[in-house]
Each structure stands twice: as structure tokens, then as C-alpha cells.
């Protein structure tokens, strides 16, 4: 039995047609029919019920189909890993990231550029938990910087740092002149928050529930960038990670810390435990897991050399 035979079989099932499957595979229909018959002869039983209207799997065929899907997926992963073995010194690394790490990751990349100058880095914005898992499983990214903790034996998740959440508002807002703020001050204000499924939203809602605060949520968006533009237009107020601003002064916004020690989130590095990582990519992942002070000192030493 060959991988090619399983591919032909799966394509026929998915297209429910020999003619359509033959087009997808760039084969003649007689050649495809012969290949499926040879596969049935080899396994010793019929895989497909053929009628004039449609093609259906036999009960035995359903078992082989599921196994074939698994084998083909493993074969695809093997091809990916074979390619990655060649990426040690002149390849690429793909990292998923949330918005707020944009001010944290440059120091890491500065070190990496000097240590592995021939490596190319692609940063992909990945926000939702399902997208993090999907991109890692499909080998679209090597690792993700995320605020989702993935409690699964399939993934290795390491906390990197904590970041406080801050309230942002227009300079003309009534609360802008108040020296200190609590969550209770926000209850009646039009509030802008990230959409369902985003961890930052869950973090904010959880703290508010714990403190008995009911936010007046009027706008839901997916990106902090959009939230900031709405706040600049004095549409409402919001809470986002303080590190997003990197302590830079922005005259179009008022940024205040809230009197709540619970209003914070953790940023994690997560990746598949079983995935092979070439040495150059292992080095980047290892560097990201070092404490920030060690990263900075390592970079400074590299600059002096």
C-alpha cells in the first residue's frame, strides 16, 4: 500500500465523484478507478459503494478512510519537518504574537539578528485561543506569544511576564482629571472592550464580577488599535495592557492605572511539545524564556563584541 493510493481514495471520498477527484488529481478517470480497485484488492474488501447518483463509504471503508486521513496528515507533517531540518542557518522562523508584545519583542529580535543573521523572522498576529491552537497544530507558526494559558499535554506553555491593565480615555473626559480611579468609577461610562473569545475581555469581566462592578459595554472590537482610535474620538473609555504604550507620552490619550491589583494579565510562550525545532529556532525560543533582565544584559554583551 502506497501513500499515493490513500491520497486517491481520500480524494474520491471527499469529492463524492471519480470524475471530480480525477480532475483534482490531474489523472484520467479510468486510471483513478483502476487505482481504487487495486487498493480494494490489496485490503481484501470493498471500500466504496458505487451507484449512478453518488459514492458512499462501506462500513469497512469508513475505518480505512479515518486511518488514511491520519496517515496523510502525518506524511504532511513529515514533509514540513524535513524542510525545517534545512533551516538551521539560512531559513526562517514564524512566531505568533498578541498586540501588546510589540514593545517587548524588539530586544529579543535585536539579539537574534546578531546571533543568527541569516535567519528570517515572520511575526503573525494571533489573538484568539482557537487560532493559537490551530496555527501551532498546522505548523503555521513555531511558537506563540499569547495571553492564553493552554492546559494540555499537547502544548508546553511557559509564563514570560505579567502586565498591568490600564484605563484609557480622551483628555476631555470627565474622569481624566481625577487623580485615582477605581473600577466603580467606570460603571456608567460607555465602555469599549474586545470581542467574545479574547482573553483580555475575560480578564476584565472576571475582575469586575469579583468586585461587583457592571460595565456599560457599548462597543466590541477585535484590536487594541481600533479601541484606541475610538477612545481618541471620545466615543467611550476602555482598559488595555499598559505595555501596549511602552511608557510613551500620547497627548491624544489619558492613560491611568486603576486601583486594583487583580487587573493584570500574564503573557505566555507556547508551542507543541512534539515538534522538532532546528537549533536556530530553539535558540530564539530559549532566549524568549529568559528573564527580561538577562535578555537585555545578553544583548548589551553582544553589542560590545
List, for residues 290-299, the tens digit of each pLDDT value: 864 444 344 3
Greater model confidence, 86 or 163:
163
The candidate with the shortest Cα–Cα distance to 93, out of 299, 284, 273, is 284
What number of other Cβ atoms are within 10 A of residue 74's Cβ? 11
Q: Give the residue-averaged pLDDT of 127-135.
A: 91
Q: How many CB atoms lie within 10 A of CB 228?
A: 19
Q: What is the structure's pLDDT at 84?
A: 64
| Nearest-angstrom CA–CA distance, 268 and 160 | 5
> Does 183 have pLDDT greater than 50?
yes
Does 300 score more than 70 pLDDT? no
The answer, yes or no, to whether residue 48 has pLDDT greater than 70, is yes
Check: pTM over 0.85? Answer yes or no. no
Residue 132 confidence (pLDDT) above 70: yes
Q: Which of 41-45, 105-109, 116-120 has the highest mean pLDDT?
A: 105-109
d(CA 143, CA 272): 8
Report, as an integer, the average pLDDT of 241-269.
83
How confident is the model over 179-195, as a mean pLDDT?
90
Strand partners, 54: none
pLDDT of 301 over the 50 cut? no
Tell me how many helices (H) and strands (E) the chain has. 10, 11
* Residue located via cell numbers 511557559: 158
Q: What are residue 32's phi and psi, to 5 degrees?
A: -70, -45
Q: What is the pLDDT of residues 53-94, one digit of tens each?
A: 678 888 888 998 999 989 988 888 888 777 766 655 457 899
Query: Grid coordinates representing 153?
Result: 499535554
Cite the DSSP H helix spans in 94-210.
105-115, 129-137, 199-210
Question: Does residue 147 register a pLDDT over 80?
Answer: yes
pLDDT for the residue 265: 87
Q: Which of 269, 267, 274, 283 is nearest to 93 (CA)?
A: 283
80 near 87, Cβ under 8 Å? no
Per-residue pLDDT, averaged over 160-179, amounts to 90
- Of 52 and 193, the structure prediction assigns the larger pLDDT to 193
Residue range 200-253, pLDDT digits in tens? 898 899 999 988 999 999 999 988 999 999 999 999 999 998 888 876 667 889
* Integer Cα distance of 152 and 268 in angstroms: 14
User: How does residue 302 score in pLDDT terms, banded at 50, 70 and 90?
Assistant: very low
Mean pLDDT for the stretch of residues 31-39: 89
pLDDT at 219: 95
CA 141, CA 133: separation in Å to the nearest integer?
10
> Given this model, what pLDDT does residue 248 score?
67
Give the start-end residues of each E strand in the chain: 48-50, 55-57, 92-97, 120-125, 143-146, 155-169, 190-194, 216-221, 237-241, 254-257, 264-272
**Which residue, 243, 59, 255, is CA-closest to 171?**
255
pLDDT at residue 103, rounded to an integer = 85
**Per-residue model confidence (pLDDT) at position 85:** 63
Query: What's the pLDDT score for residue 123?
Result: 95
| pLDDT on residue 204 | 92
Amino acid at each position: 500500500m502506497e501513500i499515493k493510493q490513500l491520497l486517491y481514495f481520500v480524494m474520491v471520498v471527499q469529492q463524492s465523484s471519480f470524475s471530480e477527484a480525477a480532475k483534482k488529481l490531474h489523472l484520467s478517470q479510468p486510471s483513478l478507478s483502476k487505482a481504487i480497485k487495486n487498493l480494494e484488492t490489496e485490503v481484501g474488501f470493498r471500500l466504496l459503494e458505487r451507484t449512478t447518483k453518488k459514492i458512499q463509504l462501506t462500513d469497512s471503508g469508513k475505518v480505512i478512510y479515518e486511518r488514511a486521513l491520519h496517515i496523510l496528515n502525518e506524511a504532511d507533517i513529515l514533509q514540513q519537518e524535513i524542510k525545517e531540518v534545512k533551516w538551521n542557518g539560512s531559513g526562517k522562523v514564524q512566531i505568533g504574537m498578541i498586540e501588546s508584545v510589540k514593545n517587548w519583542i524588539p530586544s529579543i529580535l535585536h539579539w537574534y539578528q546578531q546571533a543568527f543573521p541569516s535567519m528570517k523572522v515572520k511575526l503573525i498576529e494571533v489573538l484568539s485561543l482557537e487560532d493559537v491552537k490551530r496555527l501551532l497544530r498546522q505548523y503555521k507558526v513555531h511558537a506563540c506569544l499569547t495571553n492564553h494559558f493552554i492546559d494540555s499535554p499537547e502544548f508546553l506553555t511557559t509564563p514570560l511576564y505579567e502586565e498591568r491593565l490600564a484605563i484609557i480615555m480622551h483628555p476631555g473626559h470627565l474622569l481624566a482629571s481625577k487623580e485615582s480611579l477605581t473600577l466603580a468609577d467606570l460603571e456608567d461610562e460607555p465602555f469599549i472592550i474586545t470581542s467574545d473569545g479574547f482573553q483580555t475581555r475575560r480578564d476584565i469581566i472576571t475582575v469586575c464580577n469579583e468586585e461587583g462592578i457592571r460595565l456599560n459595554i457599548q462597543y466590541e472590537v477585535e484590536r487594541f488599535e481600533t479601541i484606541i482610535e475610538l477612545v481618541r474620538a471620545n466615543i467611550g473609555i476602555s482598559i488595555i495592557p499598559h505595555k501596549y504604550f511602552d511608557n510613551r507620552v500620547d497627548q491624544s490619550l489619558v492613560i491611568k492605572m486603576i486601583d486594583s491589583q487583580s487587573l493584570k494579565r500574564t503573557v505566555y510562550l507556547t508551542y507543541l511539545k512534539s515538534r522538532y525545532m532546528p537549533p536556530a529556532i530553539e535558540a530564539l525560543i530559549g532566549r524568549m524564556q529568559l528573564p527580561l533582565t538577562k535578555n537585555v544584559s545578553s544583548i548589551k554583551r553582544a553589542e560590545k563584541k
